[in-house]
Amino acid sequence: MSSEQTPMETTTKTTEQVVAVDKKPREKKEKKPVEKKPVEKKGDVKANLLGAGCKKEEDFSEWYQNVITRSEMIDYYDISGCYILRPWAYSIWEQIQAFFDAEIKKLDVQNAYFPLLVSEKALTTEKDHIEGFAPEVAWVTKSGDSSLADPVAIRPTSETIMYPAYANWIRSHRDLPLKLNQWVNVVRWEFKRPVPFLRSREFLWQEGHTAFANKEEADEEVFTILDLYRRVYEELLCVPVVKGIKSEKEKFAGGLYTTTIEGFIPTNGRGIQAATSHALGQNFSKMFNIEFENDKGGKSLAWQNSWGLTTRTIGVMVMVHGDDKGLVLPPRISPIQAVVIPLHFKDADTSAVDSKAKEIADQLKAAGIRVNLDNRPNYNPGHKYNHWELKGVPIRIEIGPKDVASGTVICCRRDTAEKSKVEISNIVTGVKELLDNIQSNLFSRAVKERNDHIVNINEWSEFVPALDKKNVVLAPWCEKVSCEDSIKKKSSEESKNKAEEEKGFCLTGAAKSLCIPLQNQEHVKLPEIKEDTKCFCCQEKATKYTLFGRSY
């Protein structure tokens, strides 16, 4: 582990910080972090002013890590795979929580809190389930200097923590449905190279765990929740997703079937699992003995679901919208939606500019817009423009002496860099319209880019070439596990170089099924399977058009 540790000094610093850091005694230059992370050229002021410091298309991995650290979303930490979520990132998580929490409460889901730690006995009750998690489980074996008689695990997920209690609480059909959710941290001690937000050893999520008297109600909820997840990505984060079912090979360990929403990262053509809603069927209720007296007086096993959304949401949003200047944040979740920057010129009346700038900021704030007045005297406008562009704030409002005179301001959009004049008398309406435009533009732009990279194929020969063009692929498939294994194997062999190419993210060239898309999705067009359609890989009868891709 120590070889994996990350000297603090390699984390991003502001200009003053970079200068000051040399004085710091805690430097450990000898340590070689396994994690690829931004290394600032010390004292290189320019590097800090030039947004991401490198081009998104040229070194996506370095771009990503520069952007999330320089924008003050993330800071690195001296335990590999663990990250600090700074307010700029955490407040986006709070926005997501506020939306989703309100929606599930409408569905009569109640929040609760179950313990972080789980006994070995409970953890290993459902065999398939534990097999899926065992290697990644972190074990507490000591307190102080004394070792524990029975080590306890840190939750990788809470099925085995909650369901023994469910077995005690659920006795009659009147106790159903039981719908609980918790907003918590979980730990999965992966040894793949970690990526902030996307693959970290600790992450934040909500996990919903529900139990029903029959399969119909359970099935309905699985898809209701899946659509809420879609709305988080599409309506809040402007990230289009494909709704679908996971293949047998990719489904949740111990579950009946897994529904998923799949995102797409255009820069490297990777698919990414965005959130999952699992139908657990009766597997867990059987193992944990969640049995109830049904309305006929007999005994039945509960039908259960579990569903989770994580802080991965933020990373996907960054990758999809960000550009060479830094973050590009959707207005709905941006911690600051508009920044007002007063422009001072020599010999000009600065007080008039400042008071008008404040007046505008106050008006916007009163109208419920999250606004910041950047009147810091020690930075010039150029520095401020770069600073707020790096942080992805949707609108910059510039106001100088001429603007005060003409009763207008310049509004600059972060998404398109377009500038427009807005009447100060009409500032609230003007800014609100602009925010709405930015929100819808970010989404439609992302939808077009995503759809341009979903390619329909029918033959294996077209598969890897399509992936190499940074696409995901829709292909007729037989849905057999054996066939999926060979798809993974063959695609990996045909694209050895891929792993190298993206070592920053430590991604392989192997492709897998992302999901079997549901019919009738607003933004996705699906071809029809015909009687005689053959599997693109094994040539046996195809049962479903399935989305394949390289993925995170």
Residues 91-110 that bind a copy of itself (CB under 8 A): 91, 93-94, 110
DSSP H or E stretch at residue 274: strand 270-281
Question: Exactly one of 33, 132, 164, 381 binds a copy of itself (CB under 8 A); which one?
Answer: 164
Cα 135 to Cα 139, 150, 308, 329, 500: the distances in Å are 11, 18, 21, 36, 26
Cβ proximity to a copy of itself, 14 vs 508, nearer residue? 14
Q: How far is the CB of 117 from a copy of itself (least distance, A)?
A: 6
Q: How far is the CB of 79 from a copy of itself (least distance, A)?
A: 6
Site residues (CB under 8 A) for a copy of itself, limited to 187-226? 187, 189, 202, 204
Classify residue 367 by its DSSP letter. Answer: T
Which of 520, 524, 532 has the alpha carbon at shortest distance from 476?
Answer: 532
Q: Which amino acid is at 71?
A: S
Cβ proximity to a copy of itself, 158 vs 471, nearer residue? 158
CA pair distance 505, 62, nearest whole angstrom: 9
DSSP H or E stretch at residue 359: helix 350-366
Answer yes or no whether residue 137 interacts with a copy of itself by CB under 8 A.
yes
Cβ proximity to a copy of itself, 142 vs 448, nearer residue? 142
Which of 316, 108, 109, 111 has the alpha carbon at shortest distance from 232?
Answer: 316
Is the distance from CB of 110 to CB of 180 less than 8 angstroms?
yes
Q: 341 Cβ partners below 8 Å, 6+ apart? A: 357, 374, 381, 384, 385, 388, 396, 397, 398, 399
- From 59-67, 170-178, 439-447, 464-472, give the range in contact with a copy of itself by CB under 8 A: 170-178
CA pair distance 2, 215, nearest whole angstrom: 49
Tokens of 358: 């404040």
x-or-dash string of contact with a copy of itself, 349-378, rule CB under 8 A:
---------------------------x-x
3-class secondary structure for 153-192?
EECCCCHHHHHHHHHHHCCEHHHCCEEEEEEEEEECCCCC
Question: Exactly one of 168, 406, 429, 482 binds a copy of itself (CB under 8 A); which one?
Answer: 168
- From 71-79, 243-251, 338-346, 522-530, give the range in contact with a copy of itself by CB under 8 A: 71-79
Q: What is the DSSP string of 315-329?
A: HHHHHHH-BTTB---
Question: Exactly one of 55, 171, 402, 419 binds a copy of itself (CB under 8 A); which one?
Answer: 171
Question: Exactly one of 41, 44, 55, 87 binds a copy of itself (CB under 8 A); which one?
Answer: 87
DSSP H or E stretch at residue 273: strand 270-281
Question: Exactly one of 44, 98, 128, 140 binds a copy of itself (CB under 8 A); which one?
Answer: 140
Site residues (CB under 8 A) for a copy of itself, limited to 23-62? 24-26
Q: How far is the CB of 184 from a copy of itself (least distance, A)?
A: 7
Answer yes or no whether residue 90 interacts with a copy of itself by CB under 8 A.
yes
Cβ proximity to a copy of itself, 88 vs 552, nearer residue? 88
DSSP reduced 3-state for 381: helix
Q: How many CB atoms lie within 10 A of CB 207?
A: 22
Site residues (CB under 8 A) for a copy of itself, limited to 528-547? none
Q: How far is the CB of 282 from a copy of itself (least distance, A)?
A: 17
- From 179-187, 275-283, 408-416, 505-513, give the range in contact with a copy of itself by CB under 8 A: 179-187
Positive/negative CA dihedral, 92, 95, 101, 106: negative
Question: Exactly one of 22, 44, 98, 115 binds a copy of itself (CB under 8 A); which one?
Answer: 115
Q: How far is the CB of 420 from a copy of itself (least distance, A)?
A: 31
- From 80-88, 383-391, 430-438, 513-521, give the range in contact with a copy of itself by CB under 8 A: 80-88
Question: Exactly one of 29, 102, 143, 531 binds a copy of itself (CB under 8 A); which one?
Answer: 143
- From 117-125, 221-229, 322-330, 511-519, give the range in contact with a copy of itself by CB under 8 A: 117-125
